[in-house]
Structure 1
Amino acid sequence: MTVRALEDLDAAALVYAERVAAPDADPGYERDRFTRECLPLAHRLASKFRGRGEPLEDLEQVARLGLVKAVDRYDPGRGSFTAYAVSTISGELKRHFRDAAWAVHVPRPIRELLLEARHARTQMTAELSRTPTVAEVAARIGAPEAEVADAFVANGGYSPGSLDASPVSDDSTAPTLGDLLGSTDADLDGVDDKLTVSGLLMRLPARERRMLAMRFYGNRTQVEIAAELGVSQMHVSRLLSHALSWLREAMLSDTPPVWAGRAGVSAGPDLRLRVERADGAVTVRVGGEVDRDCAQRLRLCLRHAVATAREDRLVVDLSAVALLDAAGVATLVDCASAASVAEVPLAIAGAGPTVRPVLKLSGLAAILAD
């Protein structure tokens, strides 16, 4: 806007005031004519706010409304009309951006804090040659860091992305952002099952949990699991099958079943030993699963029983044994050897259908009781 234009508007304002004050004047006509003369001023001020997310036509309407207010409130005795009109129109445009241009309602204190924070961030970016952190901006303007962070987040409410826009391309046939949101999560149906399984896994013995983790989370083969745990691949297969069967049954029942040994024997996986002496016999009752992890405990117990049996007969009761691996068989062979040296009669009783064939193949058939 040139100096000449400013002078012309000020002169026109004085002429307008004189005409309105005339006894035979038509105030409405004079007001409309003077307002039309000032429309270029409103257009130029509206153009300064172009590119801020609002259509220029809407900004011109707001600027013209401010111009009308300036014309109605103008008092020639208080100075330049142009200065008063520029202040009034600019204030109306800023008020429009503050109150009406936000797509999402944001409280006024946050909007004012955002303006201050953005101004401080611009200055600090030039000073530091980098974008300042939220804490640095908060320290500059003397506001709490949390409120400054909320203000920057609220900045997204001024011009949010449209759900009708396509993030892929400008093609009208491409899926829009709205098409990509709110779809059914295919994994949602499995959340309940995952939570149930995670709780049931904690009911399993540590060894079975470790095997399941290695197999299904570590993607390890049964051979690799067997090599790491020091057992046979067949043993790993049996334990995994038993654990999975128990999990399936627990998933389908309201009350999880009690963990039991194989073949329905109600025995836990841990080794249980009980020594009894009665009627001229020392009976070692073995329960659970005998593998490499607990074979040494059984070996020490049987060696002690052989040493204390003296003239009594030694009976090893395997009726509660769910599983006997190679380490367990070796322990029984060692016991038979120690009993033979100590001349203690030895008998193995209660061997189940899965244990008896293994003992026979190991050379212990002679001491197996019917």
Structure 2
Amino acid sequence: MAVKSQYPEDPDTHHWFCRLAGLPEGPEREQIRREIICAWLPVAHRLALRYRDRGETLEDLRQVAAVGLVNAVDRYDPALGGAFLPFAIPTIVGEIKRHFRDRMWSVHVPRRVQNLRNIVRRATADLTAEGTPASPARLAEHTGLTEEEVRQGNEALHGFRALSLDASVPTDGNDVRLGDTMGADDDALSLVLDREAAKGGISSLAEREKRVLYLRFFAGMTQSAIAAELGISQIHVSRLIAESCRRIREGAESADPRGTHTVTRPSRHTRAQPKVR
């Protein structure tokens, strides 16, 4: 028994489908197929309306629904006895949902997490309508999910579209760029091991040697400038630097049981200050 349409204006195209099934490929068959699609297009547009306000334009949704309608027309077999509308609706809706799943996410999200997102979103709306706080524990009880699954679904709720780094983020009443709130690599971290390894050797140096190293590598002074400040020759400064670095390196290697640690000479641009008195 054929299922009646829920809309009186829905077309009766059964005779067209029967005729379409008996025609070979050619202009006549293509013309009848086009007429069937045009006749049912308003139904596809009505189904697209259900998914408006979800981040996609209505025009794009209508186009996706039309693709689903074309697929339904091509797959429908009137010889099976069922009406076209009950067959077409899940085909069109499935195409729309597939569009949201595969095309609308800014980054790839596993289908399992997408399903969790949909479950959590609907459950949150239900609990909110009842006036019940949508806590993770309450959502888990309402949906039958674990709290960890609820957490994943909640995270996915805010991951449908990526934000631009230029997007405004309210902070203490002031709007700042999202990019300004993100951390960055600290170049000084690469020197942590070297500094720790060099501590022992530096502490064993005489005060004048520490002073020379500080002026050269932290204050950025040239050897001639250091020599003038300390009242010694530039050659003497060069020897003090070379000898101090050798002792620091040997101290670091002796402290490493594998003897594989190499101390990098500090950059003149390094900002960290050694404890030099």
The verdict on a shared fold, with TM-score over 0.5 as the criterion, is: yes
Task: Find the counterpart in structure 2 of residue 135 from structure 1.
Answer: 137
- Distance in 2, Cα, partners of 1:150 & 1:22: 51
**Structure 1 residues 27 and 182, CA, compared in 2 at 3 Å: closer, same or farther?**
same
**Structure 1 residues 139 and 183, CA, compared in 2 at 3 Å: closer, same or farther?**
closer
CA contact 1:105–1:157 (8 Å) conserved in 2: no
Deviation at 1:119, TM superposition (A): 2.1
Deviation per CA, 1:237-268: give whole Å up to 9, x if none. xxxxxxxxxxxxx98x844359xxxxxxxxxx
Are 1:19 and 2:36 an aligned pair?
no
Structure having the higher Rg: 1
**Structure 1 residues 120 and 23, CA, compared in 2 at 3 Å: closer, same or farther?**
closer
Paired residue type of 1:31:
R
- TM-score, length-scaled by structure 2: 0.57
- Distance in 1, Cα, partners of 2:123 & 2:184: 43
Paired residue type of 1:38:
W
CA contact 2:165–2:177 (8 Å) conserved in 1: yes
Are 1:256 and 2:258 an aligned pair?
no
Task: Find the counterpart in structure 2 of residue 38 from structure 1.
Answer: 40
Deviation at 1:53, TM superposition (A): 0.4
Paired residue type of 2:149:
E
Partner of 2:9, secondary structure, is helix
Task: Find the counterpart in structure 2 of residue 99 from structure 1.
Answer: 102
Deviation per CA, 1:105-161: give whole Å up to 9, x if none. 11111211222222222223333x242211221233232212221221122221232
Task: Find the counterpart in structure 2 of residue 29 from structure 1.
Answer: 31
Unaligned runs of 5+ in 2: 206-277
* 188-197 vs 113-122, which moves further: 188-197
- Percent of aligned pairs sharing the same letter: 39
> 1:343-362 alignment to 2 at 5 Å?
none
Larger RCO, structures 1/2 (Cα 8 Å, 6+ apart): 2
Deviation at 1:16, TM superposition (A): 1.1
Task: Find the counterpart in structure 2 of residue 79 from structure 1.
Answer: 82
> 1:29-68 alignment to 2 at 5 Å?
29-68=31-70
CA contact 1:111–1:151 (8 Å) conserved in 2: yes
CA contact 2:69–2:92 (8 Å) conserved in 1: yes
**Structure 1 residues 164 and 39, CA, compared in 2 at 3 Å: closer, same or farther?**
farther
Paired residue type of 1:61:
Q
Deviation per CA, 1:4-38: give whole Å up to 9, x if none. 212xx2x1x21312432566982122111211222
CA contact 1:134–1:149 (8 Å) conserved in 2: yes
Deviation at 1:2, TM superposition (A): 6.8
- TM-score, length-scaled by structure 1: 0.44
Task: Find the counterpart in structure 1 of residue 9 from structure 2.
Answer: 5
- Distance in 1, Cα, partners of 2:57 & 2:95: 16
CA contact 2:140–2:150 (8 Å) conserved in 1: yes
- Distance in 2, Cα, partners of 1:74 & 1:155: 36
Task: Find the counterpart in structure 2 of residue 165 from structure 1.
Answer: 167
Are 1:121 and 2:68 an aligned pair?
no
Q: Give aligned pairs, total.
A: 193
Paired residue type of 1:119:
R
**Structure 1 residues 35 and 192, CA, compared in 2 at 3 Å: closer, same or farther?**
closer
- Distance in 1, Cα, partners of 2:21 & 2:183: 69
CA contact 1:69–1:88 (8 Å) conserved in 2: yes
Task: Find the counterpart in structure 2 of residue 144 from structure 1.
Answer: 146
**Structure 1 residues 118 and 255, CA, compared in 2 at 3 Å: closer, same or farther?**
same
Deviation at 1:70, TM superposition (A): 0.9
Unaligned runs of 5+ in 1: 169-173, 200-249, 259-370
Deviation at 1:190, TM superposition (A): 7.8
Moved over 4 A (4+): 21-25, 181-185, 188-197
CA contact 1:62–1:92 (8 Å) conserved in 2: yes
**Structure 1 residues 36 and 141, CA, compared in 2 at 3 Å: closer, same or farther?**
same
Deviation per CA, 1:50-109: give whole Å up to 9, x if none. 110012222122101100011111122432212222221112112222232211211111
* Larger strand share, 1 or 2: 1
CA contact 2:116–2:152 (8 Å) conserved in 1: no
Task: Find the counterpart in structure 1 of residue 254 from structure 2.
Answer: none
